[in-house]
Chains A and B, each alone.
Chain A
């Protein structure tokens, strides 16, 4: 018999700080450096009125530089880069800023390079999910977003390997989010 999915709830304000420690850097694993272009992925998480959202949890999930996920469903799993964590977690600081060290993921099948993002924290009873893209090439998920909003899902290169992606939870220039 089909079971009813359990109700979720917000993390609240006191998600342990330790739970994010050490997961902001995806680019080193088992003493190895990840293959591919290393980047700093950073930005603000902002609420209505452009106010910084402090103490929010940002989680990411992405493929390695060859477009491979370390997961049994990926037929190429065995070839996933041993020097790369596909998952990361960061917490926004007092200015609402998060920061990851990662790589630009590879494309695969019908997906352009992209990073899955989930935002958790006070005010959100369910995680908010979206994708970060690096350019506007064809992608089955990118194309679900109304054309005039797509630029809001592009990370902006700022030089020296820094890419900026601001998450605007609500209000002007609100980030497009997907059905979770």
Chain B
């Protein structure tokens, strides 16, 4: 919830030790696109401290199920999974009512995208993308299928391990957040340039889902969980 104290939120610069490297060896696009000059420091004004909270009303968002086009339609091919988690700020307070965008490859490792040249089949029952809004406790959930791995054709060797993309349009311009989350125990994780573009094992673990429950019944699925911490720390008010 927003209140007067929101103005006192501190957005310290990202700690590089906890983040993906800007330039990753062998990830060639970073060599031609990451600026060479140092980033410039600036004061944070109202312009940076505000952000597109209005998007919740702009987009038609509801419960998210990527595995079918409509509630009574056939299900997409692949292993059904239920992904859940919670979005908080650095103080552990829920980040509620923000838009989360999710996209991924289908079970064959094929994206619905004009630039995907991988010769794998599309799945007519898989939407591959969608939006949701975090609830009052910052929680999100989505039914989907486990994505397939796919080759990065220009590289000649690099196969991307299964992963799901997340984009969060937070409450301020300062906490725009985009990431990719991987699955535990995948052989391809060991050589992935992006997953290994983070400096420590501890940080890498934050890019990997935790397996949760396995559910059996009319709907049987495997659960995966990943919480997200967005930047933003409420400053302690100074004593008079």
Contacts from A to B (Cβ < 8 Å):
1-19, 47-49, 51, 53, 55, 59, 61-63, 69-74, 85-87, 108-111, 114, 116, 118, 120-129, 140-141, 144-146, 169-171, 174-180
17 contacts between A and B (CB under 8 A): A3-B88, A5-B15, A9-B197, A10-B194, A14-B105, A14-B115, A16-B101, A16-B128, A19-B129, A73-B2, A109-B46, A123-B30, A123-B33, A126-B19, A141-B42, A170-B36, A179-B40
Asked if B178 contacts A11 (CB within 8 A), the reply is yes
**Shortest distance in angstroms between A133's beta carbon and chain B's nearest beta carbon?**
12
Q: In the complex, are the beta carbons of A124 and B30 less than 8 A apart?
A: yes
Q: How far is the CA of A71 from the CA of B13 in the complex (A)?
A: 23
Complex Cα–Cα for A155 and B152 (A): 36
Contact of B103 among A14, A110, A118 (CB under 8 A): A14
A14-B103, A122-B33 known, 8 other contacts, Cβ within 8 Å: A2-B233, A12-B180, A73-B6, A87-B55, A111-B47, A125-B19, A127-B176, A178-B41
Please, how many angstroms separate the alpha-carbon atoms of A10 and B51 in the complex? 21
Is A125 touching B115 in the complex (CB atoms < 8 A)?
Answer: no
Tell me the nearest residue of chain A to B104, going by C-beta: A14
B27 touches A7 (CB 8 A): no
With A74-B50, A116-B173, A178-B39: A6-B180 Cβ-Cβ less than 8 Å:
no
Q: Is the CB of A13 within 8 A of B194?
A: no
Instruction: Name the residue among A10, A51, A85, A121 with the largest chain B CB count within 10 angstroms.
Output: A10
Residue of A nearest to B205 (CB): A7
Q: Check if B22 sits within 8 Å of A125, measured CB to CB.
A: yes
B34: A residues at CB distance < 8 A: 123-124, 169-170
Interface of B is mostly: loop
- Asked if A9 and B20 sit within 8 Å, CB to CB, the answer is yes
Q: How far is the CA of A4 from the CA of B92 in the complex (A)?
A: 10
Contacts of A87 in B (CB 8 A): 51-52, 54-55
A144 to B229, CA, bound (A): 29
Interface residues of B in 99-121 (CB under 8 A from A): 101, 103, 105, 111-116
List, in ascending order, chain B residues with CB within 8 A of A118's CB.
Answer: 173, 176
A119, chain B: closest CB distance, angstroms: 9
Task: Give the residues in chain A near B39, CB-CB below 8 Å.
Answer: 177-180
Chain A residues with CB below 8 A from B15, complex form: 5
Inter-chain contact A71/B53, CB cutoff 8 Å: yes
A17-B114 in contact (CB<8A): yes
Residues from chain A with Cβ under 8 Å of B25 in the complex? none
Contact (Cβ within 8 A) A4 B20? no
Q: Is B221 an interface residue (CB 8 A)?
A: no
Selected contact of A140 from candidates B18, B27, B43, B103, CB within 8 Å: B43
Instruction: Name the residue in B6, B35, B48, B165 with the highest tally of chain A Cβ atoms < 10 Å from its Cβ.
Output: B35
Determine the chain A residues whose CB is within 8 A of the CB of B194 once the complex forms: 9-10, 125
Contact B207 A9 (CB under 8 A): yes
Establish whether residues A174 and B36, one from each chain, have CB atoms under 8 Å apart when the complex forms.
yes
B40–A177 CB distance below 8 A: yes
Q: Are A2 and B90 in contact (CB under 8 A)?
A: yes
Q: Does B167 contact A (CB under 8 A)?
A: yes
